[in-house]
A and B are shown apart, each in its own frame.
Chain A
Amino acid sequence: MDRPAISVRGIVKDFGAGQTRVRALHGITSDIYPGELTYLVGESGSGKTTLISIIAGILYPTEGSVCVFGSEIYDLRENDLVRFRLANIGFIFQQYNLIPTLTAAENASVPLVAAGMSRARAVARASETLAQLNIGDLAERLPRQLSGGQQQRVAIARALVHSPRLVVCDEPTAALDAASGRRVMDLLRAVALESERAVIIVTHDNRIFDLADRILNMEDGRIVSDGKSFPTEH
C-alpha cells in the first residue's frame, strides 16, 4: 500500500469550555491514501464536518496531530499553515461560495491570484481548467447565469486550478439534482484517480455512495466503520 497522504492521530476536538464544553471528536485515528475517493458519512452532529475541517487545516484540534503529505500541519505557524493550504489543498463547498461579481474564469482563478500570479495568466489558466471540465464555453458568465451543476463545476475548477494534492469537499452534490450530482461525482472520481490526489468528501447523499473507494462512517465523534461500501444500516 502507498504511503498515506494524510495521517490523523488521536484527534480530539472540544467546543466550548467548562460546563458547556462539548467533545465533538473522541481520538480519531485514520490514514487516507492518494488516488482514493474517501467519503466521510454520518448523521448530523456526528463530527464529520469537524473532522474534515481539521484535516483541511482550517480548525485547530484540541489534541492530536494531522500529517498532510509529510507535514505536521498544526506545527506550522498560522501564516505558514495558510500558505500550506493555498499550495496543497483544494476546497469545494456545499453552497459553492463563488464570488457573484466575478466571471466563472475569474472565480476559478482565485487561488492562483492569491498565490501571486498575475490576473491575465491566472484567468487564462483557469479558463483551461474550465475547458478540461467541459465548461470552457461558460468562462465569461457570472455565477447567477449558471445552473447549480455548472456553478459546482466552476467551484471544482477553483479547487483544482492550482493542482492541489488534497481536495476536500463538503456535500458537493447536496444542492444538485441526481443527474448533475452524478456528473460532479464522476468528475471528482476522475480527479482522484487520474492525478493520484487524495479526495475526501463529506456527504449525506446515498445516491453517490457506490462511487466511493472508501467510506468512513462516523457516529458521536468516532469512526464506527471503515470499508469499501456504505454501512447497510445507514
Chain B
Amino acid sequence: MGWIALRMLTGDKVKYYGLIFGIAFSTLLIAQQSTLFVNLMLRASAAIWDVTDADIWVMDREAEQIEGTRPLPSTDLYRVRGVPGVDWAVPILRQGATVRTRGGELEQVSVIGLDDSTLIGLPKNVLKGSLADLAAPDAIFIDDVGSRKLFPGVADLIGQEIELNDRRAVIRGVVDANPSFTSGVLLYTRYSNALNYVPGTRNRMTFVLAKSAPGEPNAQVARRIESATGLKARTQQEFALDSIGYVAANTGIPINFGLTVILGFIVGVAIVGLTFSLFIRDNIKQFGALKAIGVTNGKIRGMVALQAGWIGFIGYSIGIGLATGFIMFGSTNSDTFKGFYTPWQILFGVGVAVLLMVFATGFLALRKVLKTEPAEVFR
C-alpha cells in the first residue's frame, strides 16, 4: 500500500509542496538559529581552545570567564609552579586596550601577553611571519579577522605600525585565531612587551597556564592547585563550559535564539498540521472506501506514517541543506561567521523535532481516518 499512499500524497501538488515547504522552512529556521546560537556560545570559549598546550587555567577566585577577570600578583605564578603534579606554569596577560586606526578612529582591542620564552597561548597556525619575529622590539601579531577589520583592503600588513594605547607597535605576523565572543581585534605580544602597552598596576598577570605532569589527571591537579594556592583552577574543558555558562546566564542570547527556535517549531507544526489535516479531510472518502474494501486500520496507519515520514524526510533534507549551506557559505566568505559549523547534535536534534512534528500532526489527522466508519462511504 506504500506506493498508493505516496501517490495520494504527491498527486495533490499544492498540498504536497505546502507540506514540504512547511517542514523545510521550519527545519531551516530551527537548524540555522540553533547553529548560530551554539557557535556564538562556543565563541565565548574560543580563546580558551586556542591555547592548546596548557591543561589548566589558574585565575582569581571570583573569575567566571575569560574576559574582565581580576589580575593576579606575579608571585602566584611561583606558587602554582610549586604545586605537586604541575609540570610547568607560565603567565598570560589578557587586557583591553585602544588602537588608533589609520583613519584616526579608536578601536577597542585585546592585548594578549604571552610567556616570553615559550609563547604559550599563541594560536598554532601562524599565517604570516614566524615565531622569531615576535622577539623584535614592539612586535605584535594580529589575528586574521582583526587584521581585515583594522586594515581593510591592505594585502601586506607586515611592518605596519599602529598606535596601541599611545605607544608604537609593529605588526610582525598574522595568526589564525578563533574570533572571540565580542569579535574584537586580538593582538599577541610577548608578556614583557605587553606590560608596556597596558595601563600599569601592581598585578597584571591575568591567568597562569599550567600543564599537568605526565600521568597526573588534569582535574586532580586543578583541585590540588586550588587547595594549595586558594586560587581558582579549572581544566580547559571546565573553563570553556564556565565561560559559555557565564554568557548564557548573563545575556539575552539564549532567550532570543530559543524563542526563534520555538517559533520555528510552532510555525512548522501549524503549517504541516493544517495542511496535513486538509489533505486527510480531502481524502477521507478514499480512506473510508479503502477501509470498506478491506484495508485494515494497521495498514491505514502505515500509509499515513509513510506519508508523514516522506514529507518529513524531503522537508528536513531541504531545510538542513539550506541551513548548512548558509553556514558553510558564511564561514568561508564572511569574517562574521568564521569557524561556524553545524554540529551533528543539531542535525540529530532537528531531525527529532521534525519527526515529532510530522508524526504528531499525522497522528492527529489519522484519528479522523480511524474514526471514520467504513459504512459512512454508503451515506
Footprint of B on A, CB under 8 Å? 49, 52-53, 56, 58-59, 79, 82-87, 89, 91, 93-95, 97-102, 106, 110-111, 113-115, 119, 158, 170, 202
Other A-B pairs beyond A59-B373, A91-B289, A91-B292, 15, CB < 8 Å: A53-B375, A58-B291, A58-B374, A82-B291, A86-B295, A94-B378, A97-B286, A99-B4, A99-B286, A100-B286, A101-B8, A102-B8, A111-B293, A114-B295, A115-B294
Interface 1/0 per residue, B289-305 and A, CB below 8 Å = 11111111011000000
Write out the residue numbers on chain A whose beta carbons fall within 8 Å of the beta carbon of B286.
Answer: 97-100
Given contacts A95-B285, A97-B285, A113-B1, contact A58 B379 (CB under 8 A): no
Contact call A85/B293, Cβ cutoff below 8 A: yes
Q: Which residue from B283, B294, B373 sits with its C-beta under 8 Å from A114?
A: B294
- CB-nearest residue of chain A to B296: A82
The residue in A84, A97, A102, A202 that gathers the most chain B C-beta atoms within 10 A of its C-beta is A97
27 A-B pairs within 8 Å (CB atoms) are namely A49-B378, A52-B378, A58-B291, A58-B292, A59-B375, A79-B298, A83-B294, A85-B293, A85-B294, A89-B294, A91-B293, A91-B377, A93-B377, A94-B378, A97-B285, A97-B289, A98-B286, A100-B11, A102-B8, A110-B4, A110-B290, A110-B293, A111-B293, A113-B4, A114-B1, A114-B295, A115-B294
- CB-nearest residue of chain B to A168: B378
CB contact list, B1-20 vs A, under 8 A: 1, 3-4, 7-8, 10-12
Question: What's the Cα separation between A59 and B286 when bound, in Å?
Answer: 18
Interface residues on B, range: 20 to 34
Question: What's the Cα separation between A217 and B23 when bound, in Å?
Answer: 54
A-B pairs under 8 A by CB, number: 84
List of 4 A-B pairs having minimum Cβ-Cβ separation, nearest first:
A101-B11, A86-B294, A97-B289, A58-B374
Write out the residue numbers on chain B whose beta carbons fall within 8 Å of the beta carbon of A101.
Answer: 7-8, 10-12
- CB-nearest residue of chain B to A95: B285
B288 within 8 A of A: yes
Interface 1/0 per residue, B266-297 and A, CB below 8 Å = 00000000000000000101101111111110
Contact call A49/B379, Cβ cutoff below 8 A: yes
Given contacts A59-B373, A99-B286, A102-B7, contact A93 B378 (CB under 8 A): yes
CB contact list, B98-128 vs A, under 8 A: none
Write out the residue numbers on chain A whose beta carbons fall within 8 Å of the beta carbon of B289.
Answer: 91, 93, 97
* Shortest distance between the CB of B136 and any CB in chain A (Å): 76
Write out the residue numbers on chain B whose beta carbons fall within 8 Å of the beta carbon of A58.
Answer: 291-292, 373-375, 378
* Shortest distance between the CB of B2 and any CB in chain A (Å): 9
Write out the residue numbers on chain A whose beta carbons fall within 8 Å of the beta carbon of B295.
Answer: 82, 86, 114
Q: Which residue from B8, B285, B378 sits with its C-beta under 8 Å from A170?
A: B378
Question: What's the Cα separation between A30 and B12 when bound, in Å?
Answer: 45
* Shortest distance between the CB of B29 and any CB in chain A (Å): 30
Question: What's the Cα separation between A49 and B378 when bound, in Å?
Answer: 7
Question: What's the Cα separation between A97 and B286 when bound, in Å?
Answer: 6
Write out the residue numbers on chain B whose beta carbons fall within 8 Å of the beta carbon of A102.
Answer: 4, 7-8, 11
Contact call B294/A82, Cβ cutoff below 8 A: yes
Write out the residue numbers on chain B whose beta carbons fall within 8 Å of the beta carbon of A100.
Answer: 11, 286
CB contact list, B306-334 vs A, under 8 A: none
- CB-nearest residue of chain B to A155: B289
Question: What's the Cα separation between A56 and B288 when bound, in Å?
Answer: 14
Question: What's the Cα separation between A188 and B243 when bound, in Å?
Answer: 80
Question: What's the Cα separation between A112 and B222 when bound, in Å?
Answer: 72
* Shortest distance between the CB of A54 and any CB in chain B (Å): 8
Question: What's the Cα separation between A56 and B373 when bound, in Å?
Answer: 13
Write out the residue numbers on chain A whose beta carbons fall within 8 Å of the beta carbon of B296.
Answer: 79, 82-83
* Shortest distance between the CB of B371 and any CB in chain A (Å): 14
Write out the residue numbers on chain A whose beta carbons fall within 8 Å of the beta carbon of B12.
Answer: 101
Write out the residue numbers on chain B whose beta carbons fall within 8 Å of the beta carbon of A86.
Answer: 293-295
Write out the residue numbers on chain A whose beta carbons fall within 8 Å of the beta carbon of B11.
Answer: 100-102
Question: What's the Cα separation between A52 and B377 when bound, in Å?
Answer: 12
Contact call B292/A114, Cβ cutoff below 8 A: no
* Shortest distance between the CB of A203 and any CB in chain B (Å): 13
Write out the residue numbers on chain A whose beta carbons fall within 8 Å of the beta carbon of B1.
Answer: 113-114
Write out the residue numbers on chain B whose beta carbons fall within 8 Å of the beta carbon of A99.
Answer: 4, 7-8, 283, 286
* Shortest distance between the CB of A174 and any CB in chain B (Å): 12
